Amino acid sequence: MQANLGFDPNAMWQVQAIQKTQITGINKVIVFIGDKSGKQQPYRIAFLTTPDQKHVIVGERIISFGEHPFADNRALLQQRADGPFRGSPSKDLELVEFADFQCPHCKEAQANMEKLVVDFPKARIVFQNDPLASIHPQSVIAASYGTCVAKQAGSTAFFQFASAVFDGQDGLATADGATLTLNSAATKAGLDPAKIAACAAAPETKAAVESSVNLSKDLDISSVPTLVINGREVPANTPYDALKQIIEFQARMDNIAQ
């Protein structure tokens, strides 16, 4: 509970019961959660612990749990998060943003991301494509363009491109508008839009975008924008002060000097 909720200094919790179930190794845990100020009405949650003692089941969600609940996801990201990044080359404190260029909430989250770059210069802040093609039809081509910009010109050019795409996000509403918006963003990043478009159509670029989406699936990310902090998933558009507090807490949990 400390690892999952301890980032909030006002949070309080009390385990009311741990009950065996009819399935060996699976227990039901009942917890009351409140706050030290007493302003929040305490509420009751119940969850099931899994036999490996590393996960709990809350409703339909499986959540990492235990003394080091995010270690497995952290290791997975250190191995497979390969998007453009800002900040430190070290992966000691790795903040991985999963985002969709056509998602309005992802656009809103960019203000947080810019602040994190300033406030956490020792962090490695990575952008991973996670286009939701079923609801954002132009998000895949936008991700493909971004992949090619990073491939051809590196991370600095990518973030210039990304900023321009998010600024012109309304242009992604149609296929023709997306072409104009993405070509303009590539030009602003100092690249030849025709070369980027050709690269975006290549099978290997499609495979790279799919690989990033598969990483999101393997992490069980259910929405964008999501920021994964050393394996810990939080909405990237969380109010900034709270987001900063969570990052600082996770860094302490992982014994990382700030």
CATH code at 215?
3.40.30.10
Instruction: Specify whether 56 is located in the same domain as 43.
Output: yes
Q: Kindly report, residue by residue over 161-196, the tens digit of the pLDDT.
A: 999 999 999 999 999 999 999 999 999 999 999 999
Instruction: Specify whether 53 is located in the same domain as 23.
Output: yes
**What percent of the chain is modeled with pLDDT above 90?**
81
Instruction: Specify whether 175 is located in the same domain as 241.
Output: yes
Positive or negative, the CA dihedral 157, 136, 214, 96 is positive
Range of weakest confidence among 15-24, 114-123, 228-237: 15-24
pLDDT of residue 98: 98
Q: How confident is the model at residue 258 (pLDDT cuts 50, 70, 90)?
A: low
Instruction: Specify whether 21 is located in the same domain as 50.
Output: yes
Give me the mean pLDDT over the 88-101 stretch: 98
Range of weakest confidence among 18-27, 50-59, 224-233: 50-59
SS (H, E, C) the chain: CHHHHCCCCCEEEEEEEEEECCCCCCEEEEEEEEECCCCCCCEEEEEEECCCCCEEEECCEEEECCCCCCHHHHHHHHHHCCCCEEECCCCCCEEEEEECCCCHHHHHHHHHHHHHHHHCCCCEEEEEECCCCCCCCCHHHHHHHHHHHHHHHHHHHHHHHHHHHHHCHHHHHCHHHHHHHHHHHHHHCCCCHHHHHHHHCCHHHHHHHHHHHHHHHHCCCCCCCEEEECCEEEECCCCHHHHHHHHHHHHHHCCCCC
In a domain, 252, yes or no: no
At residue 217, does pLDDT exceed 70? Answer: yes
Give me the mean pLDDT over the 211-228 stretch: 97
Instruction: Specify whether 34 is located in the same domain as 134.
Output: no
Instruction: Specify whether 107 is located in the same domain as 231.
Output: yes
pLDDT of residue 18: 92
In a domain, 52, yes or no: yes
**What percent of the chain is modeled with pLDDT above 70?**
100
Q: How confident is the model at residue 231 (pLDDT cuts 50, 70, 90)?
A: very high
Instruction: Specify whether 108 is located in the same domain as 177.
Output: yes
In a domain, 257, yes or no: no
At residue 1, does pLDDT exceed 80? Answer: no
Instruction: Specify whether 77 is located in the same domain as 190.
Output: yes
Instruction: Specify whether 87 is located in the same domain as 215.
Output: yes
Domain tally, the chain? 2
pLDDT of residue 257: 76
- Residues of the domain holding 14: 2-67
Domain end call among 67, 86, 118: 67
Instruction: Specify whether 108 is located in the same domain as 186.
Output: yes
Give me the mean pLDDT over the 197-222 stretch: 97
Give me the mean pLDDT over the 49-78 stretch: 90
In a domain, 175, yes or no: yes
pLDDT of residue 171: 98
